[in-house]
Chain A
């Protein structure tokens, strides 16, 4: 993809992924997993409030995988077993680093492939979850699903 990405995502390349958007800081992977592209979802304690940054009310503001899962639950996701595609469900996968902190969310497409927003960088489509595993994003620790709608890609 980009030479400087090799360190953070050593399994990622043009053979298993492609760009699907321009760079933008307007949303992150967690917001993208929740279906939002005008908010950056990040836990914060008010104050200080940060413009453009959102955290669902009443969800514990932290970066444990269960906190991110609780944030995704506010838009209908529930924890499920496995990441294999199910035609009637949209699935998301939460990655955690070696410290157990949630660091990334990928969203499954209708064809079983995955789509991710990489921090402030681009959206990408990738063949599998392993493509983003490695030093920065660690590995998948939790999967969630919600019923698929006609508008879901």
Chain B
């Protein structure tokens, strides 16, 4: 289902007048006044209001002989009714224009329990006129849930919950990102917003606010990017993301990480900072040990290994100026081994071989 696009009532009138097929208007408050308004502006339309159940609605739709059919008052429909409508979705594709006028709650149920029918409605129109500042309870609840998960250190669950949310509206995205920015939880806001393109003025405001915050710089004390283990820092690190013409640049810890998008630049910086924090901790807390096998049992090494191939360039970069027992990690991450079996080399020489291998692979300069 395409996410609701925001519009005013006049705008909806105009769009429906020129439209044919199946449409839906999501209304923030009562649906009846909107249905009445649309009936007035569409002479000859038929209105089906508050049908008692799915069968009644389908029968009424089949009987309707009009260019425009307006359906509202579906708040009483339970999951089973929507599922029934989903099975009989063909009934709704008959007239030249069929409009569902839905509350936010009904829209959510449509998306959840009648996904095939919902997919035929494209795009849904979200009525922003008359809403004022009144919060939408279901939306506020979802924003609150996502925000709580992001700030409780459960970022992956928050991302999963967002992607599983229904309807996954830009409004949910924008409000959650706005709330994260309010709390200076910036990295999480960056990766949640992702490559989203603003579609209305409200989203453009969120985008502009995010962009301004990134350009001004911020200092996270927790690093996270999707699919990577979060790392809490002992001291905040300064970060900044600027658009460098064709590319984005994320500046952090005296390094500049370039990316085709804001996300890729931020992710590269996060990986570098994460690795630096974990490797420093690993060396500080295990460097005095004389048994490498024990060193590898440290949780920081487990986190480094869980970062996968993306962390390999960072390991190689560190090896250039601080040789250490990284052979096992590199062999595990890459599946390679630059040392022949039985070859007698020191650990420093092994490190140099890895760096040379990395250069050949284009992983380090």
Interface of A toward B, CB cutoff 8 Å: 4-5, 8-9, 23-26, 28-30, 38-40, 42-44, 49-53, 63, 103-105, 117-121, 136-137
Contacts and interface: CB of A to CB of B under 8 A. Distances in A.
B293 A42 contact: yes
Contacts of A49: 341-342
Given A42-B293, A120-B324, A52 B345 contact: yes
Contacts of B284: 4
Interface of B: 283-284, 286-293, 322-325, 327-328, 339, 341-343, 345-351
A119 B347 contact: no
B289 A136 contact: yes
Given A52-B350, A119-B290, 18 more contacts: A5-B288, A23-B322, A24-B323, A25-B323, A26-B346, A40-B347, A42-B292, A44-B293, A49-B342, A50-B292, A50-B328, A51-B339, A51-B349, A52-B327, A119-B286, A119-B287, A121-B287, A137-B288
Contacts of A30: 290
A121 B292 contact: no
B350 A51 contact: yes
Q: Determine chain B's interface SS by DSSP, over half rule.
A: loop
Contacts of B342: 49
A97 B156 CA distance: 39
Contacts of A24: 323, 348
Contacts of B327: 50-52
B289 A40 contact: no
Given A51-B339, A52-B345, A52-B350, A29 B292 contact: no
A53 B293 CA distance: 11
Contact of A26 (B288, B291, B292, B347): B347
B347 A25 contact: yes
Contacts of A136: 288-289
A26 B348 contact: yes
A5 B286 CA distance: 11
Interface centre among B292, B324, B345, B351 (most CB of A within 10 A): B292
Contacts of A103: 289-291
Nearest to A28: B290
Contacts of B283: 120
Nearest to A63: B291
Given A25-B324, A50-B327, A52-B346, A119 B288 contact: yes
B287 A51 contact: no
A117 B364 CA distance: 31
A109 B275 CA distance: 40
A78 to B, nearest CB: 22
Contacts of B286: 119
A38 B284 CA distance: 23
Contacts of A38: 346
Given A25-B325, A51-B350, A118 B345 contact: no
A8 B325 CA distance: 20
A32 to B, nearest CB: 9
B349 to A, nearest CB: 7
Given A24-B323, A51-B339, A120-B324, A29 B290 contact: yes
Contacts of A117: 290
A52 B292 CA distance: 11
B244 to A, nearest CB: 37
Contacts of B289: 103, 119, 136
Contacts of A63: 291
5 contacts: A4-B284, A24-B323, A25-B348, A52-B349, A52-B350
Nearest to B325: A25
Given A24-B323, A25-B347, A40-B347, A53 B287 contact: no
Contact of B288 (A8, A42, A43, A50): A8
B339 A120 contact: no
A116 B114 CA distance: 72
Nearest to A41: B290
A9 B288 CA distance: 10
B218 to A, nearest CB: 28
A52 B328 CA distance: 12
Contacts of A105: 290
Query: Which of A23, A49, A51, A137 counts the most B-chain CB atoms under 10 A from its CB?
Result: A51
Nearest to A44: B293
A73 B199 CA distance: 76
Contacts of B322: 23
B153 to A, nearest CB: 26
